[in-house]
Amino acid sequence: MNIEKILHDLEKKNPGELEYLQAVREVLESIESVYNENPQFASVNIIDRIVEPDRIYTFKVSWVDDTGKVLVNRGYRVQFNNAIGPYKGGLRFHPSVNLSILKFLGFEQIFKNSLTTLPMGGAKGGSDFDPKGKSNGEIMRFCQAFMLELWKIIGPETDVPAGDIGVGGREIGFLYGMYKKLARENSGVLTGKGLNWGGSLIRPEATGFGTVYFANEMLKTKGESFEGKTVALSGFGNVAWGAALKATELGAKVVTISGPDGYVYDPDGISGEKIDYLLELRASNQDIVKPYTDEFPSAQFHPGKHPWEVPCDIALPCATQNELDKQDALNLINNNVLCVAEGANMPSTPEAVELFLEHKILFAPGKAVNAGGVATSGLEMSQNSMKLCWPLNEVDQRLHQIMSSIHEQCVTYGTGPDGYVDYVKGANVAGFLKVANAMLDQGVI
């Protein structure tokens, strides 16, 4: 495999799509040797076929704000690969959304979904709509207008979207309501649904819980655990709050949360009533920093800074892509970080990842660490198909098992001669092999 030539050709075809090219490079570098050892893959050109999405939809979303003004956003759905199951992946509503970001996320999703052991293909979608500061009515009207287009191309056996940045339980509710009205069916077409209408227990917390379960498996390889450790995490959204909750439950102290403007450091720990308070603020669409630091004076806000300068044992980047750069990685390494587990998708820049691997830090990529979210979505789909609702223990146990199995796959394919586990390589190779073999079995389509 000639990686530089493949990337050069891809860049010519997809100019300026930096995130997408970054994600493809990482996977190709990891799978190069396994690909070369298996000439059957090259014989049907798996690489060119796997880096190209099956199809991309873009559409106009017109909606009316509270003042009566008509606004237009762009909607997307990237159906990347369905070799092992229906397309599956979240919807992101954020002003930064563009095709490059959704292609990177959809590409990553192929391998992540493969790792979960469940039959799900890879997809991603969303819009450049900014939910910040919007009223409930505006969010509802936007979601309805978005679904007016999206419903034509999704379905419980074809493509099953879920949440991501800017899309939580409320948005899934509005999207699902409109889908049901248009399609005239009650089905598992979206995951992350409310508990009373087809949702699964644990789904809201699943990505964060899974992140901590995975990090715990990593720590176990060194005879360590969360007990008594200091945790720095970023963001405070769907993923971060679940991670904060579970890390605290396992005996750790979470000392940071962050937003695009900076981070909050609370040396007393962010747990219990503080987490509840933060959730209330988020639910009411308020900025969380100012009220939090007013309410809990032990906390300080560090504007324009990343939480990775705070000494910690465990770092959980849970906010967004490329939020942890080379300097952040150096700060963490100099402060003797033990484990870095990516709750977000591709939060570490390639230079930061290189440093973690070079220093043999326990480091694992988002596609393995945060796969608990989509795995629990897969469990939600199973429950919807069976018209059943599993009890909390059962879902949590299955999530736990899936995270352990993903960890095992990473160890199998990522352990080097010196015993160091390269989780990036392990996750990419394990995820790739399953999809590539399925593509091989199904012919050139």
Q: Which residue is nearest to ligand NDP (CB)?
A: 237
Cβ closest to ligand NDP, residue 240 vs residue 337: 240
Cβ closest to ligand NDP, residue 166 vs residue 365: 166
239 touching ligand NDP, by CB under 6 A: yes
What is the nearest approach in angstroms of ligand NDP to the Cβ of residue 262?
8
291 touching ligand NDP, by CB under 6 A: no
Which of 238, 256, 349, 409 touches ligand NDP (CB under 6 A)?
Answer: 238
Of 45, 6, 36, nearest in space to 24 by CA:
6
Which of 95, 137, 260, 272 touches ligand NDP (CB under 6 A)?
Answer: 260
191 touching ligand NDP, by CB under 6 A: no
Contact range with ligand NDP by CB under 6 A, out of 34-42, 56-64, 193-201, 231-239: 231-239
188 touching ligand NDP, by CB under 6 A: no
200 touching ligand NDP, by CB under 6 A: no
Which of 235, 365, 426, 431 touches ligand NDP (CB under 6 A)?
Answer: 235
Site string for ligand NDP, 124-163 (x = CB under 6 A): ---------------------------------------x
What residues numbered 368-387 form the site for ligand NDP, per CB under 6 A?
Answer: 370, 373
Residue 177: which residues within 8 A CB-CB, separation 6 or more? 144
Contact range with ligand NDP by CB under 6 A, out of 18-26, 258-266, 402-410, 429-437: 258-266
Cβ closest to ligand NDP, residue 166 vs residue 378: 166
Looking at the annotation, which residues are catalytic? 124
What is the nearest approach in angstroms of ligand NDP to the Cβ of residue 166?
5
Which of 207, 230, 348, 428 touches ligand NDP (CB under 6 A)?
Answer: 207
What residues numbered 388-407 form the site for ligand NDP, per CB under 6 A?
Answer: none
Residue 72, strand partner residues: 62
Scanning the structure block, which residue is given the tokens 């849970």? 318
What is the nearest approach in angstroms of ligand NDP to the Cβ of residue 48?
26
Say which amino acid occupies 292: Y
Which of 344, 364, 429, 435 touches ligand NDP (CB under 6 A)?
Answer: 344
What residues numbered 4-33 form the site for ligand NDP, per CB under 6 A?
Answer: none
What is the nearest approach in angstroms of ligand NDP to the Cβ of residue 259?
3
N-to-C CA span, the chain: 22
Binding residues (CB under 6 A) for ligand NDP: these are 163-166, 168, 207, 234-240, 258-260, 318-320, 323, 343-345, 370, 373
